Amino acid sequence: MGKVLALVRANWLTAASYRFNLFVSLVSLIAMVIPVYFVAGALQPVMAKSIAGQGGEYFGFLLVGITTLMFLTTAVTSLPAALGSSVASGTFEALLGTRARLSEIVAGMVGYAFIWTTVRAFLLFAVGWMLGAPLVGEQSPAALLILGMIVLAYFPFGLFAAAGVLAFKTSGSLPAAVLTVSGLLGGVYYPTQVIPSWLQDLSAVIPLTYGLRALRAVVLEGGALSASAPDLAVLAGFIVLLFASSLYVFTRAVRHAKHAGTLAQY
Amino acid sequence: MSVVAAGAHTVPPEAPTAAAGEAIRLSQLTKRFAIRRGWGAALRRPLLRQWAPALEDITCTIAEGEFFGLLGPNGAGKTTLFKVLATLVLPDGGSAAVGGYDVVRQARRVRSILAPVITDERSLYWRLTARENLELYARLQDLPGETAPRRVSELLATVGLADAGRKLVGAFSSGMKQRLLIARALVARPRILLLDEPTRSLDPLSARAFRAFLREEISGRQGCTVLLATHNTEEALELCGRVAVLHRGRLLAVGAAADLIRQVGKERYRLWTRSPVLGSLAALEREGVVHQIATQPDAEGWARVDMDVAGGLEGAARVMDALSRAGASVGRFESVPRSLADLIEGIIERKRGSLDG
C-alpha cells in the first residue's frame, strides 16, 4: 500500500504543479452545473412521468448520471492514458525495474485520477444540493458501495485499453466507444425505457444500466440497498466476468511486450 | 508431485544458485526480435514472420565487485542484454542468473539486488524536486519510512546534488539529471548496477568527472558490481577491468581490456615527422611489422602518419630504429587508442585466421 500511496503522491505533486489547470478543472465543473440546472428545470414536465421510479426530479436524475459518467470516464481512460505517457517517457520501464509489483504500479498510476474525480464529484453534489437537488444524504454509504461497483465493472475496459497500448501502442477507439455507448444507452441523460425497444435490448448488456438504476433508487428515492439486489447481482456478474478476462488480457499484453522488447516503445 | 531422493536437500524455489563470488552468469542466452515488414510484404504473406537475432548464444560470467565493460557498436545487443538482466525483456533461449536468481522465474528477487540506470532523462518526474523523485523510488524500493529521508540526503550528497535537492528536476542541466538517475538507481543499495552509455549526453568535462565518480565512488567505496555498456573504447579501457566485445548479437571476445588489445596483435601508433618516411615504413610493412599506413600533411610542414604496429613494444622499437637509421626528423611518436571499429575488425580477423589455420 505504501508504494501505491507514494505513486499517488507523485502524481498529485505533478498535477498540483499545474495550478491553473486545477483551478480551471474545478471552475468549469461549477460552470457546467448551472446550465444543467436550468435545462433540467425546463425539461422537468416532459421527463417527470418517465423518471417517476427514479426520484421523479430531473435535475437530481441528471446530477447522478453525470457524476457517475465522470467516474466511468476515469475508470476507462485513466490507465491507458497514464500508461501511454509513462511508456513514452520511459517512466514505466523505470518503475518496472523497482521492487514494486505490477498491480501496485497500476494502482498507483490511476489512484490520483480517482481521488481527483471523487473531489470533483463531491463538489458537483454540493453545488447540486445547494441548487435544490433532492439527494438523500443518509444513504451515502450505500451510494458509495454502488458507485464502487460501477467503477469496478468499468475499470476492466481500462485494462483492455491499456493492454492495447502495451501490445499495439494504441488503445484504439475502445474507451471512446465504451463511454459513448454507455452514456447513450446506460441511462445517464434519460431513463432506458424511453429509448426505442430494439435499443433497449442493447442497454440490457450494459453494466451502467443496472448500476445507475440502483444508484438512483438509493440516492434519489432513499430506497434500501436490498431493494436493488437484483440489479446489483447482475452488476456483480459483470465485475467477475470482465475483471477475470481483462486481467488475463492485460498480463498477456505485458508478457507480449516483454517478449517483443517493446515495453519502452510508443 | 515432486519426488526428492533420500538424503537430498530440498532447495526452496527462491534460493539463489550462484557459485560464490559470482554476480552474473549467462549461459547460451539467446534473444531475437520480429522484423517489422512493409504493408506489401505483410499482405502477400501475412503469416510469415522474419526474425533478427539480438543475442546469440551469449555465455559469460561476471564476478562480484567487478567493473565489467560491454563494448559494441549500435545494434550490437548491449541494451537488449541489459534489459534481459533487468527483467524488462524475456529471453528466448538459454538462461541468465543475477546473484544466482533466474531472471525469468525469480524476477522480483533479481530486481532486489540489481538496478538498471535508465539513462532517459524523461523517465524522471520533471515537475517534482530531486528529493521528491528519490523519496518516491525509496518507497518503491521498500526502504523503511524512517530511514528513507537520510538515505535520500546521503545520495544527493554522493552525486553532488545536495544543494539542488529542493529544485524542480525540469530546471536541471543534462549532467545533473544523469547524476540524479544514478542516485535513483542507488537508492536501495543494489549489489549490481547496469549503466547503458551513461556519458552519451554529457560534455567532455562532465563525462570525465562522471567516470571518476563511477570509479571512485560506485565501484570503489560502494563496492558495486558495475556493468557498463558503451561504444567508446577509451571509456571501457579507462574504467573496466574486463570487457566483452559484442557485435551483431554475438560475443566476440571476453577478457582483460589490455590483454584483448594485445591478443588482437596490433597497436595503433601516430608519428609526427617532417621527413619522407614512407620508404622506411614500406620495408617494415613488407616484413609485417607495420600495417594500414595513412598519412596526412598539415599546413606547417609536419606530416601525421598513422599505422598499426604488430609485436607490441618490440615492434614500436623497430619502427623507431628504422626512422633513426633513415635520419628522419621525428616530432612525436605515440600510441593512440584503437577505435571500436579497429578492435572489432581485429578480433574478427583473428577469429577468421584461427578458423583458417
Residue of A nearest to B36 (CA): A260
Furthest-apart CA atoms within chain B: distance in Å? 84
Backbone angles phi, psi at A90, to 5 degrees: 90, -5
Partner-chain residue, chosen from A17, A91, A259, that has the shortest CB–CB distance to B123:
A91
What is residue A10's three-state secondary structure? helix
* Alpha carbon distance B251, B72 (integer Å): 9
**Counting every residue, how long is chain B?**
357
Instruction: Residue B149: count other Cβ atoms within 10 Å of its Cβ.
Output: 14
pLDDT value, residue A141 = 87
Collect all residues of chain B within an 8 Å Cβ-Cβ radius of residue A5: 139
pLDDT 10s digits, B12-55: 445 555 556 889 999 999 999 988 888 888 888 887 888 889 99
pLDDT value, residue B1 = 33
Confidence of residue B7 (pLDDT cuts 50, 70, 90): very low
What is the least distance, in Å, from the CA of A149 to any CA of chain B? 29
Is residue A243 classed exposed, middle or buried when 0-12, 13-18 and 19+ CB atoms within 10 A define those classes?
middle
Query: Exposure pattern of B84-99 as b/e (b: 16+ CB <10 Å)?
Result: bbbbbbbbbebbbbbb
Task: Express as a percent the part of chain B with pLDDT over 90.
Answer: 29
> Under an 8 A CB cutoff, do B139 and A96 touch?
no
Residue ranges of chain A whose pLDDT lies below 70: 265-266
* Alpha carbon distance A140, B191 (integer Å): 51
> Under an 8 A CB cutoff, do B139 and A260 touch?
no
What is the least distance, in Å, from the CA of A104 to any CA of chain B? 9
pLDDT value, residue B262 = 65
Contact of B259 with B98, CB cutoff 8 Å: no
> Under an 8 A CB cutoff, do A98 and B141 touch?
yes
Q: Which residue has the cell 541468465?
A: B96
pLDDT 10s digits, B112-129: 899 988 878 888 999 999
pLDDT value, residue B18 = 54
pLDDT value, residue B268 = 80
All cell numbers assigned to A113: 485520477
Residues 32-91 of B with CB under 8 A from A: 33-34, 54, 80, 83, 86-90
- Please state the rounded mean pLDDT for residues B99-115: 92
B336 forms bridges with which residues in the sheet? B268
Lowest mean pLDDT among B173-177, B264-268, B312-316: B264-268
Interface test with A, best of B33, B136, B182, B189 (most A CBs within 10 A): B136
Any B CB within 8 A of A201 CB: no
Residues 108-147 of B with CB under 8 A from A: 108, 111-112, 115-116, 118, 120, 122-125, 127-128, 132, 135-137, 139-142, 145
> Under an 8 A CB cutoff, do B128 and A91 touch?
no
All cell numbers assigned to A257: 511486450
pTM metric for this prediction:
0.80
Instruction: Indicate whether B258 pLDDT > 80.
Output: no
Interface test with B, best of A7, A166, A258 (most B CBs within 10 A): A258
> Under an 8 A CB cutoff, do A258 and B123 touch?
no
Collect all residues of chain A within an 8 Å Cβ-Cβ radius of residue B88: 93, 96-97, 258, 263-264
pLDDT value, residue B19 = 58
> Under an 8 A CB cutoff, do A3 and B140 touch?
yes
Q: At what angle do helices A229-260 and A140-168 cross, to 10 degrees?
A: 20
Closest to B249 measured CA to CA, from B29, B56, B14:
B56
Instruction: Residue A14: count other Cβ atoms within 10 Å of its Cβ.
Output: 15
> Under an 8 A CB cutoff, do B122 and A259 touch?
no
Backbone angles phi, psi at B61, to 5 degrees: -130, 140
What is the least distance, in Å, from the CA of A87 to any CA of chain B? 9
Averaged pLDDT of chain B:
83
Partner-chain residue, chosen from B33, B118, B127, that has the shortest CB–CB distance to A90:
B118
Collect all residues of chain A within an 8 Å Cβ-Cβ radius of residue B141: 98-99
DSSP B189: -
Contact of B35 with B192, CB cutoff 8 Å: no
Q: How far is CA B210 from CA B133, B195, B214, B216, in A?
A: 21, 12, 6, 10
Partner-chain residue, chosen from B54, B116, B128, that has the shortest CB–CB distance to A97:
B116
pLDDT value, residue B126 = 94
Interface test with B, best of A4, A7, A99 (most B CBs within 10 A): A99
Confidence of residue B265 (pLDDT cuts 50, 70, 90): low
pLDDT 10s digits, B231-253: 887 788 788 889 888 888 998 88
What is the least distance, in Å, from the CA of A69 to any CA of chain B? 30
pLDDT 10s digits, B45-90: 887 888 889 999 999 999 999 999 998 888 889 999 999 999 999 9
pLDDT value, residue B282 = 84
Residues 69-108 of A with CB under 8 A from B: 88-91, 93-101
Highest mean pLDDT among A124-128, B90-94, B277-281: B90-94
Q: At what angle do helices B174-186 and B148-158 cross, to 10 degrees?
A: 140
β-bridge pairing B192-196 and B225-230 = parallel
